[in-house]
Amino acid sequence: MGPTMPPSKKAQSPSSGASASQGMSPPYRQGDAATAASEAEAADLSLSLSASFSKAEDEELTSLSWLHESTDLLNSFSHSGLRSVSPLQDPDGQHSRSPSSSSPSLEDALLGDAHSAYDLAAGANRKPPYSFSCLIFMAIEDAPNKRLPVKDIYGWILEHFPYFASAPTGWKNSVRHNLSLNKCFKKVDKDRSQSIGKGSLWSIDPEYRHNLIQALKKTPYHPYSPGLATPSTSPPTLPQTFHHSPPLWSGSPLFRKNGGVLLQVPRGVIQNGARIRSQALFPPNAEPRWSGGVQRATWLAVTLSPVLASYRSSLGDYLSRGQDSPSRYSPPLCSEDLQDDHTYSTAKSPSRLCSPSSGMDDDDDIIAVEIQSDVKPEPREIPLDSHITSAAAAANYISQQSLRGQRRSSGPGAGTLAGSSLGISDTLPLKKRRAAAVEKPPESDDEEMKEAAGSLLHLAGVRACLNNITNRTAKGQKEQKEALRN
DNA sequence: GCCCGCATAAACAGAT
DNA sequence: CATCTGTTTATGCGGG
Q: Which nucleotide is nearest to A181 (CA to C1')?
A: C7
Å from A423 (CA) to B4 (C1')? 13
Among the residue ranges A78-82, A221-225, A349-353, A457-461, the one predicted with the least confidence is A349-353
Q: Helices A132-142 & A150-160, crossing angle to 10 degrees? A: 100
pLDDT tens-place string over residues A213-268:
888 877 655 333 333 333 333 333 333 333 333 344 333 444 444 443 333 332 32
**3-class DSSP string for A25-85:** CCCEEECCCCHHHHHHHHHHHHHHHHHHHHHHHHCCCCHHHHHHHHHHHHHHHHCCCEEEC
Determine if strand C comes within 7 Å of the CB of A88: no
pLDDT tens digit sequence for A398-417: 334 333 333 333 333 333 34
The reply to whether A163 has its C-beta less than 7 Å from any atom of strand B is: no
Work out the number of other CB atoms within 10 angstroms of the CB of residue A352.
14
User: CA-CA distance, A359 to A380, in Å (whole number)?
Assistant: 20
Tens-digit pLDDT profile for residues A266-315: 232 222 322 222 222 222 232 222 222 232 333 333 333 333 333 333 33
Whether the CB of A190 is less than 7 Å away from nucleic strand C comes out as no
A115 neighbors A245 (Cβ within 8 angstroms): yes
CA-to-C1' span, A201 to C5 (A): 11
Residue A105 has what DSSP assignment?
A: B
Domain boundaries, chain A: 37-122+266-406+446-485
Q: Which one is predicted more confidently, A253 or A145?
A: A145
Comparing C-alpha atoms, which of A347, A352, A418, A375 is closest to residue A127? A347
Q: Are A396 and A453 in contact (CB under 8 A)?
A: yes
- pLDDT score at A159: 87
